[in-house]
Structure 1
């Protein structure tokens, strides 16, 4: 494969957040190191970028407590998200393209809070492309578990505890109508109403089955382009079908296959919109020989422009 002719970021910052404090099953804390072992930094350097590994953030251990008032480990989740927020903001302030290596998906509250603060100060609008099997719009009233990795979008939209909704420059941290979700196939019954009421744009697996990944990504990226400014991609590895990506704590059958996932990432790159990235919920405890981490790195290489042939992308440009 050869690098595309499009311009890649000059410098990428890797930020590790080794915690599973928001999840119901342990192991996502090993995700950042699994991505390093799979060669994430080497791949990015091979595409011509300078890579700065800022190391792993150090936060509280997972106390594995039972939920209190509908939230499990809220104090620790808030602490980790504060660390992530500051790290993402500092990387963007330094002019870098930040990649957050999770860690469970509760960390998206801090990640996107840091990005939103940067965008606010720079006078840019923010859209979020959420690649996931789950809508992650639960609240204590709708969550069957109290695990906060099922609540980050709700918290970002202002529905959650002040410890998390207050992490940003404003409440809500993010306009939910600027959230575009792709690959969704597991939404709790009461959660469905919240998703509809808050105006998220959701492309579930039925739409991918009916229209194909190309058409769905055309629509998703056009919606992101309408928002303009900065597009943040939050990639939960359980977005992928578990037959190709078993290394996640919450597998849901019927996700995108290898080629669909590659096309998704290639089209994200072609759009020229992405300015920051999360890689979430990679859990080596459930993986086989680090295959899921290696696949995640391969897919991220496509998101950064690795492809079989050089292309002009003249039909894949989205105007800001």
Structure 2
């Protein structure tokens, strides 16, 4: 099952790198547009509206304060993201949040969770990433908030971030499935274990295969489940996707990533999407953006053959 011709997809650009460890992810939304995201989705029969970019505070590029870098700026960008994503969901649209760094998952997913509470729907979040992003101010080695969004969504973080959307925690760790993980800080490992996050790391994928990992990650979805995908481009192996600020060797290959996206599309449940951490400053002739658009197409039903 794939999205129908009546599906309205809303692109929401959020051009900030205030939560990141390197400058440049703020240029990600435009790189995805240059790579033809809107046109490629429209070719699949989707109605696409580009809402443009949100306007928020600049990146001050300052050191951490009390374990957080740029907390005020990150909080404002996430508040803006929350409201924009929630408005599109309330209108019956499928929002694609174009980041920007992965701190923005706080605003986006808290909006999705709010929408699910209002609609009485269950939520499943697939977190495609090289990193667990489950740090807190006390265990972070850097203070960069793009390493904290999952923890904040689960209620572990400052009020400025955990209370976005008005419900603490925004989500339970039980709704998340993390896929492709291969870089977790030492204190973060213990915290992930304590909170019992369901993680399909690269060792699991090496041993069991992407198909088996995705079958488990997608298990028990039903008509009352809203499926959200948070796609950090550093999920991909840097050999095929160099345009990110935090490359980690040993990620999914092109074919593994395609299988991941196609199996998500096969569920017919995709209802919202983040695409984050694309950094054109580290890319080669927009190669990573073009790959990301290719994979997003697969999320919306592109396949080699018509599947039964």
Q: What's the TM-score, normalizing by structure 2?
A: 0.98
Residues 227 and 132 from structure 1, CA distance in 2 versus in 1: closer, same or farther, beyond 3 angstroms?
A: farther
User: Does structure 1 conserve the Cα–Cα contact (< 8 Å) formed by 2:2 and 2:268?
Assistant: no
How far has the Cα of 1:227 moved from its partner?
A: 10
The number of aligned residues is 308
User: Does structure 2 conserve the Cα–Cα contact (< 8 Å) formed by 1:157 and 1:176?
Assistant: yes
How far has the Cα of 1:6 moved from its partner?
A: 6.0
How far has the Cα of 1:229 moved from its partner?
A: 1.5
User: Does structure 2 conserve the Cα–Cα contact (< 8 Å) formed by 1:178 and 1:227?
Assistant: no
Cα deviation 1:31-79 (Å, max 9, x = unaligned): 0000000000001100001100000000000001110000000000000
User: Does structure 1 conserve the Cα–Cα contact (< 8 Å) formed by 2:4 and 2:46?
Assistant: no
Whole-angstrom distance in 2 between the partners of 1:56 and 1:235: 19
Q: Secondary structure at the match of 1:222?
A: coil
Matched, 1:287 2:283: yes
Q: Any residues of structure 2 matched to 1:1-320 within 5 Å, and which?
A: 7=4, 10-222=7-219, 225=221, 229-312=225-308
Whole-angstrom distance in 1 between the partners of 2:223 and 2:206: 26
How far has the Cα of 1:8 moved from its partner?
A: 5.9
How far has the Cα of 1:169 moved from its partner?
A: 3.1
Structure 2: where are the runs of 5+ without partners? none
User: Does structure 2 conserve the Cα–Cα contact (< 8 Å) formed by 1:14 and 1:51?
Assistant: yes
User: Does structure 2 conserve the Cα–Cα contact (< 8 Å) formed by 1:231 and 1:273?
Assistant: yes
Residues 270 and 206 from structure 1, CA distance in 2 versus in 1: closer, same or farther, beyond 3 angstroms?
A: same
- The residue aligned with 1:317 is none
How far has the Cα of 1:193 moved from its partner?
A: 1.2
User: Does structure 1 conserve the Cα–Cα contact (< 8 Å) formed by 2:28 and 2:99?
Assistant: yes
Structure 1: where are the runs of 5+ without partners? 313-320
Q: CA RMSD in A?
A: 1.3
Whole-angstrom distance in 2 between the partners of 1:89 and 1:140: 28
Q: Secondary structure at the match of 1:276?
A: strand
